[in-house]
Structure 1
Amino acid sequence: MNKLTALFFVIMFLIGTDTFIISPLIPTLQHLFHIQTEYAGWMVGAYALGYAIFALIAGPLSDGWDRKKVLLFGMACFSVSTILCGSAFSFWSMFLFRVMAGFGAAFTTPQVWASIPTLFPAQKIPKVFGIVMAGLASAQAFGMPIGGLLAATHWSYPFYTIGAFSLLTTVAIFFTMPAMRPNQEQKTTMPIFKRYVLLLSSRMARRSFLAHLLFQCGFMAAFAFIGKWMTDRFELSVDHVGFVMFFLGLGNMVGSIGGAHLIKLLGRFTTLVIGFVVSIVCFLILPHLSSVSAFEGVYFFVFTNMGISFPLIMELLTSLNPTIRGTITSMANSAMYAATTLGSWIAGLLYATFNGFTAVGIFAALCITGSLIAFFSSGILPVQENTKKELVGS
């Protein structure tokens, strides 16, 4: 079982690293491919676009298949596509290869989360979930800085490295992971899109997913252009940006590890509200900071809040209807990557139009504010149990 835990950790680390590896590379790739700033964000959004489109189908559809085979297919596609990114010769070739990588990730990630309850005894499931979640957090703390250091030699090296390790991980999946064919009673006869209709027929679910979308859109819009802003404002090199990203990733890890204790102490409602308010204030003051150290300190709190808020939001969403959690998870992931696509595109337009990060920070603050209002109006925080009954009975 320890081998499987380590395997799932590595999978999420690689996918998490690849998700935002382009962020610190935007200045380099923008110059290399001769593209304007307002289009640069699409190199971040392309991966998210591929994930967002196919996750809606991949998650529910794979419930009736052997999860090992689906995981092998997804990881192999992800590996090859990431290697191809290192060979991109134009903006559009990079865009295409990033969409393909997102496609592979869309088939991979849901299998990891869905396999844990099947492969591990009930008493170990929470611990394994925590370890696998730490794989994503550590990707920001260690994966992106490592990518930045590799990119200091050549921009393609991060893609080749991630792709090569992903291929090795695909081989490890083949030899380590057991087959997981669904039993007949585990198969659901409900058509895929009817599950989404069932879910979104609830006003509480609609507003909760809107809140999730706005939260991710604001955070990802600011995140996509961190590297460019630091390069323009502080004239940092790619490897120096990587070191800053390492520090920010530590904030995410702190939030992921300590979030459960904070939620237990303050409660879900208070934790969510305080975290969102802190993020709003941080996004408004970030563009006006005059030093790298001040930027790091403020953004550390933003990343810490992300580490606390994201698992909390996912817990709230999956509580909407226990009978279709796979569908909920797929929709939540799809919404997250759709928000990444939208946020990075809008951030590029704002950055280019207003010549800096100020408009991006205001946009991020407005998104987080809208998210908080949507959570308030949904009613999911005080009356979660009512939601379950409403959806199951509809």
Structure 2
Amino acid sequence: MVKLIALLFLIMFVIGTDTFLISPLIPTLQGLFHIPTEYTGWLVGAYALGYALFALVAGPLSDGLDRKKVMLYGMIGFSASTLLCGFATGFWTMFLFRFLAGVSAAFTAPQVWASIPALFPAAKIAKVSGIVMAGLASSQAFGIPIGGLLAAAHWSYPFITIGACSLLVAVFIFYALPELKPEQDLTVRLSLLQRYVPLLKSRVARRAFLAHFLFQCGFFAAFSFIGKWMADRFHLSVDQVGFVILVLGLGNIVGSFSGAYVIKKLNRFNAMVVGILVSIAAFVTLPHLSSVAAFEGVYFFIFMTMGIVFPLIIGMLNSLNPAIRGTIASLANSIMYAATTLGSWFAGLIYAAFNGFSAVGLFAAVCFVGSLFSFIRSGILTNDAGAKKDHAA
């Protein structure tokens, strides 16, 4: 069992690392490929676009196949496309390879979550899911900063390293993961597409998913430009930016592990509202801080808050319809990466237009205001308000 948990942890770690690996590299790649500032957001957005477009179809398609094979081929494709990023010759080749990496991740990552109930007894599922989720948090805390250190030697080294490590993970999948044959016939598999209909018809679901979109759009718009902002404002090198992101990732881990305690004390409703309101104030304040330490401290707090709030959002979305949690997870992932694409693209435009991070921070704050308003209007927060001791999310 330990071997399988380690495998799933590693899959999410390499995918999580690659997702925002390019963030601290934006200043370097912008100069290398002569990319206008308004287009630099697409270096992040290309990966997110590939994931967002294919996440909705990857789930239903994979339900009729052996999940081991889907995971294996997806990881091989992920490895190849990430390796190719290290040999990109310009903006469009980098865009293409990042897009393909996102497509491969869209087929690989959902299989991890879908495989857990099939591989582990019911009593272990929550614990295993928590460990696997820690793979994503650890990728922010350690994977991206390590990438920054490698990029200090040469910009291509992070992509080559992650690509090679992903190939080793694919070998691990081949030898360690058992076959995971589908339990449903072709007719049932095709009918899964209809499972999106109840969500589209539900006013609560529509508003809750809109709130989820705005939340992710604001957060990732700001996150995508941390590296460029610190290089422009504080003249940090790519490896120094990596160390800053290391600290921010630790904030996310702290939030993830302390979330159950905070939710027990505040209840889900209050934890969500307080977390978003504090983050709004932080995003408005960030651009006006005069030192790296102050910037890092405030952003650490944002990441810690996100470690608490993000699982709350996923928990509330899953509560919309327990019978179609797999469909909800696919839709939530697709929306998150669509928001990342739009947020990073728009952040690039306004960063260039207003020559700095102030507009990006304000944009993130406005998105969070809209997210909180939409959550409240949906009614989903009211349903959780009385769950003072419920910290299952």
| Contact 2:50 2:103 survives alignment (8 Å) | yes
Cα distance between partner residues in 1 of 2:130 and 2:110: 16
The CA deviation string for residues 327-368 of structure 1, in whole angstroms up to 9 with x for no partner, is: 111110000000000000110001000000000000000000
Q: Distance in 2 between matches of 1:299 and 1:111?
A: 32
Q: Is contact 2:60–2:193 with CA below 8 Å preserved after alignment?
A: no
Q: Distance in 2 between matches of 1:188 and 1:380?
A: 30
Match of 1:270 in 2: 270
Contact 1:61 1:192 in 2 (8 A): no
Alignment of 1:322-333 (within 5 A): 322-333=322-333
User: CA separation in 1, counterparts of 2:124 and 2:340?
Assistant: 32
Tell me the residue number matched to 1:136.
136
State the partner residue of 1:232: 232
1:125 matched residue in structure 2? 125
Alignment of 1:1-394 (within 5 A): 1-184=1-184, 188=188, 191-383=191-383
SS at match of 1:162: helix
- SS of 2:295 mapped into structure 1: helix
Aligned equivalents of 2:263 and 2:227: distance in 1? 31
Q: 1:308 deviation in Å? A: 1.0
Q: Which whole-Å deviations, capped at 9, do the CAs of 1:211-253 have from their partners, x for residues lacking one?
A: 0000000000000100000000000011100000100000011
Q: Identity, % of aligned pairs?
A: 70
For 1:186 and 1:122, locate their aligned partners in 2 and report how far apart those are by CA, in whole Å. Answer: 26
Per-residue Cα deviation, 1:160-208 (whole angstroms, up to 9, x for no partner): 0000000000010011001111224897355343221222110000001
Is the deviation greater in 209-218 or in 375-384? 375-384
Amino acid at match of 1:249: G
Question: What is the rounded CA distance, in whole Å, between the counterparts of 2:24 and 2:122 in structure 1?
Answer: 40
Residue in 2 that maps onto 1:388: none
- Measured at CA, do residues 59 and 219 of structure 1 come closer, stay the same or move farther in structure 2, by a change above 3 Å? same
Partner of residue 391, structure 1: none
Cα distance in 1 between the residues matched to 2:325 and 2:188: 12
Cα offset for 1:60? 2.2
Decide whether the 8 Å contact of 2:13 with 2:135 is kept in 1: yes
Deviations 1:300-334 (A, max 9, x none): 01111111111111111111112221111111000
What TM-score results when the alignment is normalised by the length of structure 1? 0.96
Give how far 1:295 is off.
0.3
User: Are the structure 2 counterparts of residues 305 and 187 from structure 1 closer, same or farther at C-alpha, using a change threshold of 3 Å?
Assistant: farther
Question: Does the aligned pair in 2 maintain the 1:59–1:107 contact within 8 Å?
Answer: yes
Change (3 A) 1:264 1:64: farther
Give the structure 2 partner of residue 389 of structure 1. Answer: none
- Is this contact kept in 2: 1:60–1:330, CA < 8 A? no
Contact 2:268/2:384 (8 A) holds in 1: no
CA distance in 1, matches of 2:195, 2:226: 37
- The one-letter code matched in structure 2 to 1:291 is S
Number of equivalent positions: 385
Aligned partners of 2:49 and 2:183: how far apart in 1?
A: 33
Task: Please give the secondary structure, in 2, of the residue aligned with 1:147.
Answer: helix
What is the SS of the residue equivalent to 1:382? helix
| Alpha-carbon contact 2:137-2:249 (below 8 Å) kept | yes
Partner Cα distance (1:110, 1:264) in 2: 29
C-alpha separation in 2, matches of 1:33 and 1:66: 41
Q: 1:189 to 1:74 in 2, by over 3 A?
A: closer
- Report the Cα offset of residue 380 of structure 1: 1.0
